[in-house]
Every structure is written in C-alpha cells, then in structure tokens.
Amino acid sequence: MSATGILATGAYVPKQIVTGADVAGPAGVTPEWIERKTQIVTRRYAAPDEATSDLAAHAAEQALDRAGLPATALRYLIVSTSTPDSPQPPTSYLVQDLIGATGAACFDINVVCSGFVYGLALARALVAQEPGAHALVVAADVYSRILDVTDRKTVVLLGDGAGAALVGPVATGGFLDFELTSHGSARGLIRVDAGGSRMPATHDTVDNGDHLFRMNGRGVRDFVMDNVPGAVRTLVERTGHRLADVGHFVPHQANGVLLSELVTRSGLDHAQTHRTLEAYGNTGSASTALALEAADSGGHLTDGDLVLLAGFGGGMSLGAALLRWTGTR
C-alpha cells in the first residue's frame, strides 16, 4: 500500500449556542452541576432548516477549499453519521449533490462515535490501492433532534456539528496503522430503540419516547476505561513506537471528566490532548473530527508530529488511528 495521509481538514458547527442554563431546568439540574460533571459550557444546535447533510456539506467544502481540490476530483465520499437525514437515501448522496462531487462513489457508515476513525481506515484502504485518488471523510451528527430534554444523562452532553478530512497520497508519513474493535454484547449501553425494523415508529413509540437517545453513563465510562487504554497501547507498540513518542492525542469528546481520566489511564499525560467539548459538547461521530480540525487550523500540528486519534461509543465500538502528520498548510 502506498503512503496515504490527511491533506486538509474542515469543520462546521451551527450558529445557535446553547448554554448550560438553557438545558439545566428541564433536566432538573443546575448549570454549575453540568460544568462540574461534564466540563461542557456550551453546545450548538442545528437550525430548524438544517439537517445532517447540510452540516456535512459545509465541513466538506471547507476541507476541499483548503486543499485546493475541486469536488469533482473526489473518487470517494464517505459520510459517518448515526443521525441521517432519513433512512433512505444515504446521507452521503445528499452531500454529493450539495457539493457537486459528481465523480465520487458515495456511502454512509454508522459506527456512532467511532465513525470518523473507521471512515479514515476505509479511506486509507481505498486510496492506497488507487494511485492519485482522493477520499473525503465527513463525520456529522444532529443529536438535538433525538434528545429527551428531561434526561440529564444525555441532554447536558450532546450537540450538533460536522468535521471532515481529505485523505490522499503523501510522500512520507501519513497513516501508520489502525485499531478497530467492536463489542456487540455491550450494545445496550447506548441506543435509540425505535424507528427501525424491530420497533417501527408508531404513535405509541413516539409517545413513549422510544425514538430518543438513551445512554447508561456509568456503563459507558466503565467500557471506555476497560478497553480504550489497552487498545491505544497495542496500536502504538505495534507500529514500533512508545506511548512517550505520541505528541498529540485527539479523542472523542465524550465528557471532560472522563477524558481527563482517560488520558492518565492511557499513559498520555505528556501528550497535548486536543479538546473542543467545552464549546461544542459531545457531537457524536463529528467530535473527533472537530477536535482534529481545531488542532490543525490552530497551528498546533507540525510536520512529523505523531498524532493519535481515538473514537469510542455506541455499539459498543472503538477506533484508534496513529499517523505521522504531514502538514496541511
């Protein structure tokens, strides 16, 4: 396989800023409680006329503009989301039409909060075997549409956003390896029960709130601590590196308190951990992509840096990527 890496990043968050005070009352908590438990100060909600494809298209266009690549030059367009515009057609086809990527083969993936990393792994495999090809990975979610405003375990955490990464050939460095694992036995920790073939949407399911997002927060925390540190260590060591070599850690922005513990448990206190959750909250599949774009556009990543990405969430799933940054400016 030829060397492939990230050539450009992009991001988009909706304009509406939602504060702790906005969500605290219906959830039966205070803004102070939210910040203490999550370290999230604000999050963004999509406008009534915005859907997942709209957010994804904005992020996609920014990545393409930064790379100086026309959308028509894309060979693949991968959209990661667990909140599609509709069950059919795939959201990626809507994004294709919005950005004019007429030559791209498009598909969606749903690995919930690990989806961005899974998408990068797929893009790398496709591009590495097709010299000169480019793949755009876009992760986007609009969780505000499926939140129970009275559920303090979820409404205080989640927001909307999109992030993108253009994957293509690089002279040196780029992706070194991936670690992808799935744990279906823990699928009940994060779920949306209704709206599929097992429990189609009915008046009763809507009245019962079965189409809303549910999460076992304590169970998720235990899953993360039991699985993520070992997975990232395995990945780093398999590439012939040590954890001490990692310069940047870009994790899924699940919860600020959890992230602080995860960094220590993973032996990454020395690395620069990139966080956007204070401003954007947990944006699902988009969160790792948004954090990577913030690190990139903020000038924190330089050519040759060893960067570790980690996504984890519903499924339960885990995806980690190690890459040698090649510079996107």
Determine which one of 58, 113, 248, 274 is catalytic: 113
- What is the token pair recorded at 220? 């998720």
106 catalytic residue (yes or no): no
Strand, helix or coil at 130?
Answer: coil
Give SS3 for 7: strand
Neighbouring-strand partners of residue 137 = 78, 165
**Residue 282 known to be catalytic:** yes
d(Cα 66, Cα 58) in Å, to the nearest integer?
Answer: 12
- Single out the catalytic residue among 211, 248, 255, 282: 282
Which residue from 56, 66, 146, 65 is spatially nearest to 108, judged by alpha carbons?
56
203 as an active site residue: the answer is: no
**DSSP conformation letters of 142-170:** EGGGG--TT-TTTTTTB-EEEEEEEEEE-
Is the Cβ–Cβ distance between 189 and 219 less than 8 Å? yes
User: What 3-state class would DSSP assign to 216?
Assistant: coil
Contact indicator for 229, 264 with CB cutoff of 8 Å? no
CA–CA dist 22, 34 (Å, integer): 11
Write out the H or E segment, with its range, that includes residue 10: strand 4-12
Specify whether the CB–CB gap between 97 and 297 falls below 8 A.
Answer: no
Cβ-Cβ contacts under 8 Å for 226 (sequence gap 6 or more): none
Structural contact between residues 192 and 211, judged by C-beta atoms closer than 8 angstroms:
yes
Could you give the residue numbers annotated as active site? 113, 252, 282
